[in-house]
Chain A
Amino acid sequence: KAGVTQTPRYLIKTRGQQVTLSCSPISGHRSVSWYQQTPGQGLQFLFEYFSETQRNKGNFPGRFSGRQFSNSRSEMNVSTLELGDSALYLCASRGESSYNSPLHFGNGTRLTVT
C-alpha cells in the first residue's frame, strides 16, 4: 500500500500570498489530520477531516482552512501568509475512526514565507 503523500515537498511564498497544500491518505483511510511543526512551538494540531467533514479543529486563526474530497484527499489552505507561517506542515491519516488509532504521516511540506 502506498503511504501518505504530500505535495509539494517544498514551497516558497511571499507575505500576503496564499498557499494550498495537498495530502493523499493511505488507500481506505477516511480520516486526515493536519499539523504544523515549528522549532519554537513544536507540533500543533490544525484540524481533522473525516468523510469530508471537519470533526476537530485546533487553535489557529481563520486564515488556515481545509477541506476533504470524496476520495479522502485533503487540501489545506493558508491565506494572507505571514512570516510566522513558515513551518513544516504534516498530514496524517488513520484507518479507523477512533481517535486512539495510530496516525500514519506523510513526509510533510516545508513552507517558507519571505
Chain B
Amino acid sequence: AQTVTQSQPEMSVQEAETVTLSCTYDTSESDYYLFWYKQPPSRQMILVIRQEAYKQQNATENRFSVNFQKAAKSFSLKISDSQLGDAAMYFCACIDSNYQLIWGAGTKLIIKP
C-alpha cells in the first residue's frame, strides 16, 4: 500500500525565519503528483503547492517552495520569511494507483512572534 510519512508532529519557527517540513512517500507509480495542503483553525484545507513527479524543477509559490528528491521519495516544504498567518497543520499528500489521495499525518506549525 502506498504511504505518506510526515515525521515531525510539530515544528516551531520564529517569525520571519525559514522552516522546512519533511515528507517521504512510497509509490510504485512512475508518474504522479504530490501536494502540500495547509489546514488553519478554520478547518478549511487549502492547497499550498503542487509538484509533478516528471518535472525535475522544484515547484515554487511565493514564499513556499519544495525540495523534491524523486529517487529518495522525499518531498519537503520550505517556508521562507514565516508569518503568523502560516500557523496551521500542514499535510503532504500523494495520489495512489487507485487515484485516491493518500495523506500524511500532518505537521503542526507554530509561529513564534
Judge whether A100 and B46 touch: CB under 8 Å. Answer: no
Is A42's CB under 8 angstroms from B99's CB? no
Nearest chain A CB to B93 CB, angstrom units: 8
Chain A interface residue count: which class?
20 to 34
Please tell me if A43 contacts chain B, counting CB pairs below 8 Å: yes
| A90 contact set on B, CB distance < 8 A | 43, 45
Judged by a CB distance under 8 angstroms, whether A49 is at the interface is no
Q: Are A102 and B50 in contact (CB under 8 A)?
A: yes
B100 touches A45 (CB 8 A): yes
Contacts of A108 in B (CB 8 A): 43-44
- Give how many A-B residue pairs fall within 8 Å (CB-CB): 44
> Quick check: A43 and B47 within 8 Å, CB to CB?
no
| B64 CB–A CB distance under 8 Å | no
User: Is the C-beta of B59 less than 8 angstroms from some C-beta in chain A?
Assistant: no
Q: Tell whether B103 is near chain A: CB-to-CB under 8 Å.
A: yes
B51 to chain A, nearest CB (A): 11
Q: Please, how many angstroms separate the alpha-carbon atoms of A107 and B46 in the complex?
A: 10
B residues within 8 A CB of A92? Answer: 45
Residues of B within 8 A of A100 (CB): 32-33, 52, 95
B105 at the interface (CB under 8 A from A): yes
Inter-subunit contact B95/A102 (CB<8 Å): no
The CA-CA distance from A58 to B106 in the complex, in Å, is 20
Complexed CA–CA distance, A103 and B101 (Å)? 10
Chain A residues with CB below 8 A from B44, complex form? 3, 105-108
Write 9 A-B pairs (CB below 8 A) sorted by A numbering.
Answer: A3-B44, A56-B98, A56-B100, A100-B32, A100-B52, A102-B47, A105-B44, A107-B44, A108-B44
